[in-house]
């Protein structure tokens, strides 16, 4: 495979998966990691990729937010493992949790136990069908303006409701997470809701696959210190996982 063909294949994979890893590309293309890094440098100079720790992300991710159906098809096994690991973070007995809008939190909603009473607060419309089928759950849905791209409610009604509640655990989603810029998302209004969720929770658990790490979006809504536990998949670079833990965040690889 010529260098240009390899670079085009790398860009296509980055756009499809949201991120590419140096080690994986080297193994798949049968080249050295140094060759892959040179390819990534070329693509970065062309303005189509941005280098991040251990790999690269497509530039359009900084301003483009895929719809829920598109995101739901990506990294399905990893998201399922993250959701299963998150079950250990639920309150032991009766308690209250917040489920953020996201494709991994959706999988957690599907796995919630039926043997304990829980109050579930959410702003995600697409979780309601699943949650409503569980008689052991008391479901509170935040009002507000619906964002069709994420199926989350935002704006004043949602923020007002969050000022009046306090949950044991908030299971939060994010578009990006880096030690330099913290937790970021693409929309100002959704960022405001996520910020209010963090303030209303005794503990905050971030559920995010590895493609979110090292990725920065338009609006910051939290710092690494706002996260108590970060559950991600086992493909996260071990050095980066250690850096996140050194920043005071408990990291669980699922």
**Structural domain total, the chain:** 2
Maximum separation of any 2 CA atoms in the chain, in Å: 60
Q: Are residues 149 and 196 in the same domain?
A: yes
Q: Are residues 83 and 146 in the same domain?
A: yes
Q: Are residues 173 and 226 in the same domain?
A: yes
Q: Which of the 8 DSSP states describes residue 101?
A: S
Q: Are residues 36 and 78 in the same domain?
A: no
What pLDDT does residue 84 have? Answer: 98
Q: Are residues 203 and 135 in the same domain?
A: yes
What pLDDT does residue 67 have? Answer: 67
**Model confidence pLDDT, tens digit, residues 181-228:** 999 998 999 999 999 999 999 999 999 998 888 878 889 999 999 999
Q: Are residues 74 and 12 in the same domain?
A: no
Q: Are residues 29 and 124 in the same domain?
A: no
Q: Are residues 14 and 111 in the same domain?
A: no
| CATH number of the CATH domain containing 35 | 1.10.10.10
Q: Are residues 58 and 90 in the same domain?
A: no
**pTM (2 decimals)?**
0.79
Alpha helices in 30-155 (DSSP H): 33-45, 68-72, 76-86, 103-111, 128-132
What pLDDT does residue 6 have? Answer: 92
Tens of pLDDT along the chain (254 residues) come to 889 889 989 988 887 787 899 999 999 999 999 999 999 999 988 878 888 888 888 875 555 566 677 667 778 899 999 999 999 999 988 899 999 999 999 999 999 999 899 999 999 999 999 999 999 999 999 999 999 989 999 999 999 999 999 999 999 999 999 999 999 998 999 999 999 999 999 999 999 998 888 878 889 999 999 999 999 999 888 888 999 999 999 999 99
Residue-range definition of the domain harbouring residue 209: 68-253
Q: Are residues 144 and 189 in the same domain?
A: yes
What pLDDT does residue 78 have? Answer: 93
- Domain final residue, candidates 29, 62, 95: 62
Give how far Cα 221 sits from Cα of 39, 138, 169, 216, Å: 33, 28, 17, 11
Alpha helices in 53-205 (DSSP H): 68-72, 76-86, 103-111, 128-132, 156-162, 188-199
């Amino acid at each position: 495979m010529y260098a240009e063909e390899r670079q085009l294949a790398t860009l296509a994979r980055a756009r499809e998966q949201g991120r590419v890893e140096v080690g994986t590309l080297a193994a798949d293309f049968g080249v050295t990691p140094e060759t892959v890094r040179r390819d990534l440098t070329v693509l970065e100079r062309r303005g189509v990729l941005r280098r991040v720790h251990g790999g690269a992300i497509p530039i359009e991710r900084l301003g483009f937010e895929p719809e829920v159906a598109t995101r739901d098809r990506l990294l399905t096994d990893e998201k399922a493992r993250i959701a299963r690991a998150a079950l250990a973070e639920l309150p032991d007995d009766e308690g209250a949790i917040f489920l953020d809008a996201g494709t991994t939190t959706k999988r957690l909603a599907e796995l919630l136990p039926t043997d304990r009473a829980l109050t579930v607060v959410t702003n995600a419309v697409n979780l309601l069908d699943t949650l409503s089928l569980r008689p052991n759950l008391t479901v509170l849905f935040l009002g507000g303006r619906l964002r069709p791209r994420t199926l989350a409610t935002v704006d004043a009604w949602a923020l007002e409701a969050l000022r009046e509640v306090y949950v044991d655990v908030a299971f939060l989603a994010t578009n990006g997470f880096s030690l330099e810029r913290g937790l970021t998302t693409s929309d100002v209004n959704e960022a405001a809701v996520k910020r209010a969720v963090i303030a209303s929770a005794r503990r905050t658990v971030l559920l995010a696959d590895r493609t979110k790490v090292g990725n920065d979006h338009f609006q910051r809504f939290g710092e690494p210190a706002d996260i108590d536990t970060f559950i991600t998949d086992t493909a996260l670079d071990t050095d980066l996982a250690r850096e996140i833990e050194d920043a005071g965040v408990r990291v669980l690889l699922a």
